[in-house]
A and B are shown apart, each in its own frame.
Chain A
């Protein structure tokens, strides 16, 4: 008996990293899961590596595109018959630079990736969740949704925005059996970190390893987090037992952010 038996979930950015760990944890608890990602190739690879048969389905698409987000939610419902759990996990940074040098292109891209994509997916998913009076929305924010790192105004600002959005939506649907929460992980060595983190390190004038150490040092555990830390909490939030937790910005950062 899994904690998510009979549930249908959709996870953006679900082929690798945190999203993949969440998809696997949900599958283990009995859910049927749609994972999304830009690359059909990585999607196929994920399906074959996870080996969950018909319980896992891949839908390709770039979530910085509004139509893709909305269609992703609709296709999840078409494929598995409903949507119970929406995990807005895709996101990242890139082209890190002091604000004075921040380009419109990267600013708008990150705005779409980190803030608009959760808004688009959430709004669409609520159209299905409100009538069924049951739903779980989990936004993958970041410790930088509460704290700060120079040269990442786009990332920090959009994660702060996502935290605000999470709280508002939670209050709008709180009496309808739908919870909306954000998880705020510390640094995790995912593929996104490996690419965007390197760029950020360079913008800060440090080696990548120094950058990673800088992220772990203020924590209590003095090491980076792992994708499984995030999926552990995601399962709890998605389960029936998570019904009383909403509008929360939950730190999964090894004791880094003190609030």
Chain B
């Protein structure tokens, strides 16, 4: 082998080894230099006050978030405004990932500088993983309803919504848009709705689809302890020819494959706003017979590389601005009731939310697990 080839292969080998070794690096210490170790603080006051928190966060300078799509519940605006206000750069890893991906990241990226600082997961992934989270109570802790938070502060609901039925009337001929689950299953409507009703994915994998099945169950004699009627309902829709197993997205609604979409209100309302610009009118209705809502939960990584910035982010999300911004994204903020009493709800954002009458029930951890197991075992065989 001549000298040039030898040199080239040695150089390539070094470069390969360098890239392999250079990616992961252990995180440096929190770098705050001050006396507070923010990774152990359970509230802003315990750590020395909001000003100390802001100063420490600014010193850290960056925040790692994960699986936050910019168009989901107005996260784009929230992230931009946070960066503008505090000068803290936000890095969003895997924006289209799932709650499962977030928990996996927490478990496997412990100690890395790129590990997520905060997570936004569904209830199903918050309740079993309390040991991964650092307890922290935001300044407005008492405004969050008790049913929506862990008593120690491990996780706390941030926003949620009801399951709604969105409908593009121009693609339905012969009858009006459905406003309840009963409308969907009426044989008289079957011809008009043929192949048009869809949910947001696979109920064993997508929270929105799982919740749609549960809402259908509540509308058909089921309860939070019994999701089987929901599976039976969708099997009935399939036998009527009305159910379309395609994953409904804004594109499929626009294209006309899934003009009736059973999804979270914040998704359906966002689609309605986006499609209005394209001349398509989507009406969003909260079905009175199947009132199901769920909230997503915030939590701070116990081993967050930027503990002060993580805590400041939580304070921001639970401030009046943050909670109103969730409404701007068509989601219901967790502190809705308290803010309504205190009259701090932004009127323009409030107009985004459809009117709802009735009180929703929130499922417990045990009910969630039981329902998940039922759906996993029965969905494919009922609808196959």
A in complex with B: no
